[in-house]
Amino acid sequence: MSAHGDEPHGAGIAGKLNWLRAGVLGANDGIVSVAAIAVGVAAATTETAAIVPAALAALIGGAFSMALGEYVSVSSQSDSERALIAKERHELQTMPEAELEELAGLYRAQGLTADTARRVAEELTARDALRAHLSAELHIDPDDLVSPWRAAAASAAAFLVGGILPFLTILLPAGIRIPVTFLVVLAALALTGAVGARIGGSRVTRGTLRVVVGGALALAATFALGALLDSSGLVA
């Protein structure tokens, strides 16, 4: 067995970790966004007919917003990657010798001798010239391009998974809905903070506290605003 068998050397591991991190962040956004709006409205009025539409709008609107933002962002990235791939393919067709020398130069820059770098470049070019150049020059895997639609769906799903928790707790009886929502949200944020810290390789305690404190401040702010509107008589 390899001495490094527990290390992630598989292809695409960075991309998978990025996807997981994005999912955790999306769930965290859903928790905080929906909870903040729900708690703010619930502090201003006990009327379920007012709380439910506001919380539902936050849940659905937030999911669509996350999906749209991710779609636009990933589409731009995907368009750029495809343009770079097309450019590299054209250069390989029109100036193959110059591209071979460029590839060898990249390997020399990584510490290989001139002869070894040339030999590696020739062998990789013979196998798959485009893939070799995309990997060495651009760090692009042509088989692992991100789909904007899939990214948008994943982002929306992550937001919905997180946002459904405060949406459900805010439907509880008026006397307990706000304190229970606070407890559930802070517990969920502690979980997402810990997972996010693990993925990022940072200290779990610090990452968890950062997320929990931020979420608590958001809830406290919207609760205070809702209570102020209630006491001022602006909300019937």
Closest CA to 82 of 148, 16, 169: 148
Give Rg (Cα) of the chain. 25
Percentage of the chain beyond pLDDT 70 is 90
Strand runs labelled E in 41-156: none
**Nearest-angstrom CA–CA distance, 73 and 156:** 14
Q: What angle do CA 49, 54, 59 make, to 5 degrees?
A: 130
Give the tokens for residue 134. 């995309």
Residue with tokens 């693990």: 198
- Higher pLDDT among residues 102 and 2, named by residue: 102
Total-model pTM: 0.77
pLDDT of 234: 64
Question: Do the Cβ atoms of 177 and 50 come closer than 8 Å?
Answer: no
CA angle 60, 63, 68 (to 5 degrees): 125
pLDDT for position 168: 95
For residue 4, the 8-state DSSP code is T
